[in-house]
Amino acid sequence: MTDAPTHIDDMNGIVPGLAITRAQARFVRYFTAILIDLVVLNLFAEHWDAVHVDNFTITLAVAVLLQVLLKVTMAIEHKVAAFWKARPGGRATFMRYFSAWVILFGSKFAILEAVAFAFGSQVEFRGALHGVVAIIVVLVVMVLAELFIVRIFHWLGNSGTPAAA
């Protein structure tokens, strides 16, 4: 992937003709995802007793950490899935789906421990399975919120009048 300027049209269209680099597009994508995660985490901390965060600054740091850990988890899952997809047979198909489940579910324990290690009692996920259910709920809502925002973005790009170049 190069950081040479590209037209945003090639990247699902924000402003036709606006030249940005891939690095800029990546920055906007992750910056937006972190802000979405920040909002979701703060809403859970405010409205659900199973999620506790001491303050806004900690929530921002947790949102960044969660975004990084989710991206690492997805990269590992995709790499393992590609490994099994390249193999023939029903066993390989089973292993592809089983390994995806193990990685995606098991990673929540690692994420919970990473948050506990990094923030101690400043961040707590409480409840069933020592907080694993709470963190799964929070992470699923974060991913769904990100998907929702991306869908709105694409919908606006497909239904709107192009901006003047």
Kindly state the tokens that stand for 106: 């098991």
Rounded to whole angstroms, the Cα distance separating 51 from 45 reads 5
Residue found by looking up tokens 């923030």 in the block: 119
Bridge partners (DSSP) of residue 98 are none
Rounded to whole angstroms, the Cα distance separating 62 from 3 reads 28
Question: What does the pLDDT read at residue 105?
Answer: 86
Four-residue CA torsion sign, 52, 58, 63, 64: negative
Bridge partners (DSSP) of residue 20 are 6
Question: What does the pLDDT read at residue 11?
Answer: 47
Question: What does the pLDDT read at residue 131?
Answer: 86
Rounded to whole angstroms, the Cα distance separating 71 from 77 reads 10
Rounded to whole angstroms, the Cα distance separating 40 from 46 reads 10
Question: What does the pLDDT read at residue 34?
Answer: 94
Question: What does the pLDDT read at residue 7?
Answer: 41
Going from the C-alpha of 84 to that of each of 8, 100, 103, 104, 106, the distances in angstroms are 35, 10, 14, 16, 18
Strand, coil or helix: what is 130? helix
Question: What does the pLDDT read at residue 119?
Answer: 94
What does the pLDDT profile of the chain (165 residues) look like in tens digits?
Answer: 444 444 444 444 556 566 778 898 889 889 999 999 999 999 999 999 999 999 999 999 999 998 999 889 999 999 999 999 999 999 999 999 999 999 988 888 888 889 999 999 999 999 888 888 998 999 899 989 999 998 888 888 777 665 554
Question: What does the pLDDT read at residue 155?
Answer: 85
Strands (E), the chain: 5-7, 19-21, 51-53, 123-125
> What pTM does this model have?
0.74
